[in-house]
Chains A and B, each alone.
Chain A
């Protein structure tokens, strides 16, 4: 059964303190690994898609990487405005057009 597990559940960092969020996935035939950002009271906002192991994508202070079993979202020198819940999701060839979401990591950046 396809599954996505994120850790940690919550992470508090000081402004400027870099760290990484982890996403472990089990899927038969990965079609795509997705990262989303969700602010309180809003819908998830798409950030990245990764398709194959070794792939990396960057956007401002965020960089997403992918291995055959995990994806990491690296946050470099974060600012308070990076505080949000970050969701990871995977899509496999066996799951048609559905994607499976992890339960998210709540990131809080203190000034």
Chain B
């Protein structure tokens, strides 16, 4: 039981390049999330998917797109990377539905630098 996995762990991009961050969970959770974490800013929600087939914007969605590929996988795409997108990106999942299922479980993160 790996929990939430993310690839890659580290990435360096040049301004204007594109890339996709991958996330998968094996806990049969309904909901999945993408956050970014910057010093002094805490965790900010980029996009989330409450259930398979749905996606919604979070607090900071500009410059990003997401795909909920199936119940297990949720990817985050940067179409044209900018230095302001340098950050640590975390994927999380939660069961959803029942009260105890709103606890979120996080992956190890992807450290992205845009030069």
Contact = CB atoms under 8 A, between A and B. Distances in A.
Interface in B42-70: 42-43, 45, 48, 50, 56, 58
Interface residues of B, number: 26
B16 interface: no
Contacts of B25: none
B41 interface: yes
B42 A104 contact: yes
A23 to B, nearest CB: 12
Nearest to B44: A101
Interface stretch (A11-19, A45-53, A56-64, A71-79): A45-53
B99 A45 contact: no
Interface residues of A, number: 23
A43 B50 contact: no
Nearest to A34: B103
Contact of B40 (A32, A42, A99, A103): A103
A30 to B, nearest CB: 11
Interface in B63-112: 90, 92, 94, 96, 99-100, 102-109
Given A97-B48, A98-B58, A32 B103 contact: yes
Contact of A44 (B41, B99, B102, B106): B106
Given A43-B106, A43-B108, A101 B43 contact: yes
A98 B45 contact: yes
Contact of A101 (B42, B48, B102): B42
A89 B92 CA distance: 14
A103 B44 CA distance: 10
Interface string A60-103: 00000000000000000000000000010101000011110111
A66 to B, nearest CB: 14
Contacts of A97: 31, 48, 50, 94, 96, 102
Interface of B: 4, 31, 33, 40-43, 45, 48, 50, 56, 58, 90, 92, 94, 96, 99-100, 102-109
